[in-house]
Amino acid sequence: MALFILRRIAIMLFTSLCLTFVVFFLTNLYPNLEKMAKTQGNFRMNDEAVLSFLENRGYLLPLPVKYGEWLGVYPGYVIEGSDGEIRGRCFKSDQIPSEAPRYCGILQGYWGYSTRFKSDVWGIVTTRLGLTGILMFWVMALMVPSALIIGILAGMREGSRTDRSLSTFSIVTTATPEYVSGVILIAVFASSAFGLKWFKGTATAAMDNPNLENFFLPVVTIAIYGMGYIARMTRASMAEVMTAQYIRTARLKGVSFPNIVLKHALRNALIAPFTVIMLQFPWLLNGVVIVETLFNYKGFGWALVQAAGNNDIELLLGVSVVSVFVVLVTQLISDIGYVYLNPRISVT
Partner 1 sequence: MDLLTWSDIIIQIVLRLGPVWVALVILFLVSFRFKRSLGLYGKLFDSTIGMIGFAIVMFWVFAGFFAGALDWITTHDPLAQFSGMKNKVPGTPLRGAEDGDFSHFLLGGDHLARDVFSRMIAGSTIVIIIAPMATLFAFMVGITLGVPAGYYGGRLDTTISFIANLILAFPVILLFYLLVTPEIRLTGLPQYMAVVLFLFPLIFFTVLVNSRFHIVPTKRNALLGIGLAVLGILYISLINEAGSKISFLSSIDLFDVDAGLLTVFVSVVFVNAPTVFRIVRGLTMDIKTRDYVAAAQTRGEGAWYIMLWEILPNARGPLIVDFCLRIGYTTILLGTLGFFGLGLAPEDPNWGATINDGRKLLSIYPHPALVPSIALLSLVLGLNLLADGLREESLKD
CA atoms of 335 and 148, how far apart (whole Å): 20
Q: Which stretch binds partner 1 (CB under 8 A): 57-65, 118-126, 152-160, 193-201?
A: 193-201
Q: CB of 203: closest distance to partner 1 in angstroms?
A: 13
Interaction mask 127-166, partner 1, x per CB under 8 A: ----------------------------------------
Looking at residue 97, the DSSP 8-state letter turns out to be G
Q: CB of 1: closest distance to partner 1 in angstroms?
A: 22
Q: Is 192 in the site for partner 1 (CB under 8 A)?
A: yes
Q: Is 244 helix (H, G, I), strand (E, B) or coil?
A: coil
Q: Which stretch binds partner 1 (CB under 8 A): 17-25, 53-61, 210-218, 240-248?
A: 17-25
Nearer to partner 1, 266 or 329 (CB): 329
Give the dihedral sign, CA 262/267/272/278: positive
Q: Is 180 in the site for partner 1 (CB under 8 A)?
A: yes
Q: Is 76 in the site for partner 1 (CB under 8 A)?
A: no
Helix (H) and strand (E) counts in the chain: 14, 4
CA atoms of 190 and 209, how far apart (whole Å): 19
CA atoms of 88 and 91, how far apart (whole Å): 5
Please name every residue paired with 113 in a beta bridge, in sequence order, or none if there are none: 120
**With contacts defined by CB under 8 A, how many residues of the chain interact with partner 1?**
51
Q: Can you spell out the DSSP letters for 279-327?
A: HHHHHHHHHHHHHHHHTT--SHHHHHHHHHHTT-HHHHHHHHHHHHHHH
Q: Is 275 in the site for partner 1 (CB under 8 A)?
A: no
Interaction mask 286-325, partner 1, x per CB under 8 A: x--xx--xx------x--xx--xx-x----x--xx--xx-
Q: CB of 94: closest distance to partner 1 in angstroms?
A: 34
CA atoms of 11 and 328, how far apart (whole Å): 9
Nearer to partner 1, 279 or 339 (CB): 279
Burial of 188 (0-12, 13-18, 19+ CB in 10 A): middle
CA atoms of 120 and 93, how far apart (whole Å): 12
Q: Is 329 in the site for partner 1 (CB under 8 A)?
A: no
Query: According to CB under 8 A, which residues from 30 to 69 bind partner 1?
Result: 30-32, 34-35
Nearer to partner 1, 53 or 74 (CB): 53
| Residue 114 and residue 108 in contact, taking contact as beta carbons nearer than 8 Å | no
Burial of 233 (0-12, 13-18, 19+ CB in 10 A): buried
Applying CB under 8 A, the residues found at the interface with partner 1 are 15, 18-19, 22-23, 26-27, 29-32, 34-35, 171-172, 174-177, 179-180, 183-184, 186-187, 190-194, 201, 282, 285-286, 289-290, 293-294, 301, 304-305, 308-309, 311, 316, 319-320, 323-324, 327-328
